[in-house]
Structure 1
């Protein structure tokens, strides 16, 4: 009897299990999301990279939980990678619950004002570009020994807000079979130290498919009792241009503010592609531009919120890429130089301003440079104080004519003290492995992060990036003045005799695309990139270094960061392998060590 009852109960149990499977099949049986995992902001996970070493565990994610730590006014970022199965995963979305401080009830990002005092949480969908022809060395890396490790495949870069148009990375998104889809999350930590207590904030990351939650990952953020300064310690200058026509519904001033604000939030100065830089001196336009220089434009009263609030820009080029804004004869050049120097002395004495004489000069232009520099140096008025600048490393032939240099392969650190002794300076320009991080799409995520570490370590005052909105083909090439399809074609620089430079000149992507309607995202805003986010991360790292320096000295900081950046710039031969770490985790570990010294 007992045996018979047991068999009947077993059959009944099996029948109930079968019924349960049948009931749950519509919810879970059709789900095509195979794996969900997380990592920090220092890696690029290719679309087909299903066995990345960070998948099991990394500095940010222990396999179950995401852990972050930061300062007031700092922006933290992490990625969530959603992997599909044998069929497309459809209607996928990711959301982040505002992390809660249990004792006070305060929540990070739980405010109506974007970039408000309580912080902001932003979610982006990663857009992938397919590279099948790798970038040639040229000005991007010295040799095969210093080339990025992976240079072909579907590479993530553009970060599209979730309110973009559907089927263009707006929610919900579909993931091709056996593929990754990355989501990027920015967490702007609070600015207000009085209203938002330090300590542990906890939240949840949720992944949904077909409207059902299929994965929840706990999120822990430790807010430290220190404030990250608004004023940057290291300076990055980014040129942009030809943007206004992409936003016909916006006024010129609105587009200018959009460029300035988004650059400022990522701790860079978007400078050079504006009317004031391209024309002879004009009192009215310079007075209108002044709020960008003294920081008044970057205030809540003017509509700006976020990092860098109240901090002004650090530099101003008179002319760009050799435009003849000062005139073509000695009298005009001297008169114009007087006007520029007088205005800056009175209105922005702390801003580094200079005449951008010529771009990447060749020997046949040296006589021209010396003549015009002589007009400046011999000026009997204040104009003799106007510095001259060009994009070339120090050249003995131009010593005395050029005051500020910016080399495309870095700078010779041995020459820097002598140049500064003559009241000049030497910066670095764009990016060239192995001496510093490259600007190309195939570069690692930390290629742009490491440059701020190098600026800090070697006391270099500026990194100049030639373009951030290169959405039109370059004027030197056969497709001059044509619009590029930057969401489809990774090749962004085409010369007269060769095609090279995947992603070169692109740090922002257009949210509005009138010239390629099929790529319309429906957003009157700039779309950031993974490369841009890593610039911001590096700039914040350098600020943390400066905070530690105030407590324990720069020598101590250098000893710590040498573990990931042992050498750079002229200490490295162009045919060497990259000496600095290419792993985001290694930088995060050093940052953690530095935060410990601040605490």
Structure 2
């Protein structure tokens, strides 16, 4: 297996950023794949256009890819760095591909946002939530700052030890607004929005690629408008691969839906439950909940969910898993089936027989289990083992009914009859014990008689990614890869709509305004913000938001279905990656296993827990996976190439780009698979399929390269030292200084390279290099100037002409320069 592509993202071209001119200021527009969480006060493109280049944005257009029957996504970021922008609209309705093939969407309103037929493109307005505390439950043993999400780490040194004296406010994400809630753009009043000065606004875009789509390149554009007039068209390219993701996902996931919270927020809760099932089906996740049992078979409303009728065109559903029923069914989630009832051995065995008979006859493709108990205390642990043992020792078909209890590694030995001792990743046991637990309970396709399953629930760093709102955007993608790596049969999330904190005293939460969903309130801790012990957590138990909110009507969008979030989309991305991994493994499982190991180097029991005398059991070291979305996209691109071509024999093309002996970071190697860029040392290393041919052209604004290209034909051996020498391309800053309409000679432009002097016509020119920034100030005795200065942004990447100044006679001959010093420049 070849090494991973070091970086997979496109470099900026000469016009590396859109500056959208409008009456209220400049909008800087760029995009990413949604996993780089851009905080609302960030103005990255405004400050440094080249810094925002990534796998989904090459500096001039959005570039994404996907398979058929896949939902791919990107986030469009609009920055109002110069002034507030009002009445902004965004429209994107169609992509056109080979032979005129289209991927398009119809217009809808209101509850129509839950009609997915003929709506392959969806746009969402992003709402932001302020992070006022660290979610300590998800990283409670944080002796190493590297185990905390990158934006929430205090400055540290050595082995992740926080620098002395650092506090909550030293965490970069402290009290900042994180992107999370995704409101269908059709539900935003007038389909327009405002952007405050020095703030950004993101628009999330989902694109479903139908199974019937023609493979190839699709193009279209996102229209940005103001006051109803289009002010910019942002090009979009979508590469569709010639294979389809399966309707039944390789990674089985399930999440609990709280019926009581649905009923509290909606006017007719029962009527909207199916919309929630459809919504999660679109994300390849199965919902479970406490209700649903009638005697010993599912109640009537479950039948269309199990047989797939709910997920049909007739019920306004299209997308992944169309006509496919639920993959997993939980009987009596959280023990609601009757754990406290006075069962006898014979009555419980008859109950189990009934369930097995029903599923065998009506839904044999569904995996199902009895949720015996949840995190049982010692007395309930005894009862849990008794019930599971009765079922296991029955003489009828019910003996094959799987039983589940959230026991984990530590308690599983005390209830050996439980088939699925669901495990939380915080288990602090030695690696051999944990690994043995995996082998004991993981299903074995070669041994159907092994009637056990390996299931995990929730998440915790550094063992896995977490569900916290402030976690890195790749956290839940990593969690899915961990599920694949360790061959975990199911992953369960404890709740998706915990809108009322009835466990930790928070009460009814305004989830549109408060990120903290468990343990809200408390006093401010100098290190962790507003916490309430370890119970104050952001986004805990909340992956969706109520479309109708009777408790907080001012937040209500008055639709009968759920509103999603960024974290849910990230989990979906990882689940779809699982399908890529499974398809590529059919070509060569060994190659895929190596790629997985390179991507997720350590997780779960691979994290070193070997000292029970320390709170962390001695866990130290960097996280076992990258939080760079472009590396994850590089892996997906490599998997797509393996699936489509069937070629797993790969070689490397590697080298460096240097200028004056030093590495040049961010140089694009256009033409190599994934269009990689050089790393901080100017190096690149790319794997290509054996026999690959192509042309590679290096590029970076402000630079020329020698050689200007490299041609490859039928590459069959390692290609090392494929180096390029860079030269700097100068850019001009030029203009005229006038006095009473005529050119003014002899004025010095201080601050520009060489301090140029205006000629007899009042004109000046200065040459700067890529990356230059500075402030130009004209000086001439007896004159003041308007503007007094002109400032130029970092990463100057184009000529700046008409950088003019108007001179006025100074009342004080002694001033001899720019006088008052007032006035901002309009340059750059």
Contact 1:141 1:438 in 2 (8 A): no
What displacement does 1:248 show?
4.4
2:420 to 386, 404, 416: 404
Q: 1:200 to 1:235 in 2, by over 3 A?
A: same
What displacement does 1:247 show?
6.2
What displacement does 1:112 show?
6.8
Equivalent residue for 1:356? 371
Report the structure number with the largest CA radius of gyration. Answer: 2
Q: Secondary structure at the match of 1:71?
A: strand
Aligned residues: 557
Q: For residues 178-577 of structure 1, what are the structure 2 equivalents within 5 Å?
A: 178-192=198-212, 196-241=213-258, 242-245=260-263, 248-250=266-268, 252=270, 254-273=271-290, 275-276=291-292, 279=293, 281-283=295-297, 285-286=298-299, 288-325=301-338, 327-330=341-344, 331-394=346-409, 395-409=411-425, 412-420=434-442, 423-473=451-501, 475-479=502-506, 482-494=507-519, 499-551=535-587, 553-573=588-608, 575-576=619-620, 577=622
Q: 1:562 to 1:456 in 2, by over 3 A?
A: same
Contact 1:410 1:427 in 2 (8 A): no
Q: Secondary structure at the match of 1:321?
A: helix
Q: Secondary structure at the match of 1:488?
A: coil
Contact 1:140 1:438 in 2 (8 A): no
Q: Provide structure 1 residue ranges, at least 5 long, that are not aligned to the other structure.
A: 1-26
Q: Secondary structure at the match of 2:124?
A: strand
Q: Secondary structure at the match of 1:163?
A: helix
What displacement does 1:565 show?
1.1
Equivalent residue for 1:4? none
> Which of 1 and 2 has higher RCO (CA within 8 Å, sep 6+)?
1
Equivalent residue for 2:642? 597
Equivalent residue for 1:105? 100
Equivalent residue for 1:122? 122
When normalised by structure 2's length, the TM-score is 0.63
When normalised by structure 1's length, the TM-score is 0.87
What displacement does 1:172 show?
1.2
State how far apart, in whole Å, the 2-side matches of 1:380 and 1:392 are.
26
Q: 1:87 to 1:288 in 2, by over 3 A?
A: closer
Equivalent residue for 1:148? 149
State how far apart, in whole Å, the 1-side matches of 2:51 and 2:121 are.
24
Query: Does residue 162 of the first structure (1) align with residue 163 of the second (2)?
Result: no
Q: Secondary structure at the match of 2:538?
A: coil
State how far apart, in whole Å, the 1-side matches of 2:279 and 2:138 are.
30
Q: 1:181 to 1:116 in 2, by over 3 A?
A: closer
Equivalent residue for 1:171? 191
State how far apart, in whole Å, the 2-side matches of 1:352 and 1:532 are.
23
Equivalent residue for 1:38? 31
State how far apart, in whole Å, the 2-side matches of 1:57 and 1:28 are.
21
1:74 to 54, 70, 77: 70
State how far apart, in whole Å, the 2-side matches of 1:388 and 1:110 are.
44
Q: Provide structure 2 residue ranges, at least 5 long, that are not aligned to the other structure.
A: 1-19, 153-173, 428-433, 445-449, 521-531, 609-615, 645-828
What displacement does 1:508 show?
0.7
- Deviation per CA, 1:296-317, whole angstroms, max 9, x where unpaired? 3322234321111122222222
Deviates more, 1:498-507 or 1:429-438: 498-507
State how far apart, in whole Å, the 2-side matches of 1:596 and 1:57 are.
23
Equivalent residue for 1:10? none
Q: 1:116 to 1:488 in 2, by over 3 A?
A: closer
Q: Secondary structure at the match of 1:414?
A: helix
Equivalent residue for 1:135? 135
Deviates more, 1:151-160 or 1:495-504: 495-504
Structure 1 vs Structure 2 CA RMSD? 2.6
- Deviation per CA, 1:35-80, whole angstroms, max 9, x where unpaired? 1111112221111222388843111111111111211111110011
State how far apart, in whole Å, the 1-side matches of 2:141 and 2:56 are.
30
Deviates more, 1:64-73 or 1:566-575: 566-575
Query: Which structure dedicates a bigger proportion of its chain to helix?
Result: 1
Equivalent residue for 2:611? none
Contact 2:140 2:534 in 1 (8 A): no
Contact 1:141 1:147 in 2 (8 A): no
Query: Does residue 580 of the first structure (1) align with residue 625 of the second (2)?
Result: yes
State how far apart, in whole Å, the 1-side matches of 2:132 and 2:324 are.
42
What displacement does 1:478 show?
2.7
- Deviation per CA, 1:455-513, whole angstroms, max 9, x where unpaired? 2222111110001111121x32334xx42100111110129966411110111111111
What displacement does 1:448 show?
1.0
Q: 1:345 to 1:29 in 2, by over 3 A?
A: closer
What displacement does 1:130 show?
0.6
Contact 1:119 1:189 in 2 (8 A): no
State how far apart, in whole Å, the 2-side matches of 1:484 and 1:117 are.
33
What displacement does 1:435 show?
1.2
Contact 2:121 2:205 in 1 (8 A): yes
Q: 1:416 to 1:94 in 2, by over 3 A?
A: same
Q: Secondary structure at the match of 2:518?
A: coil
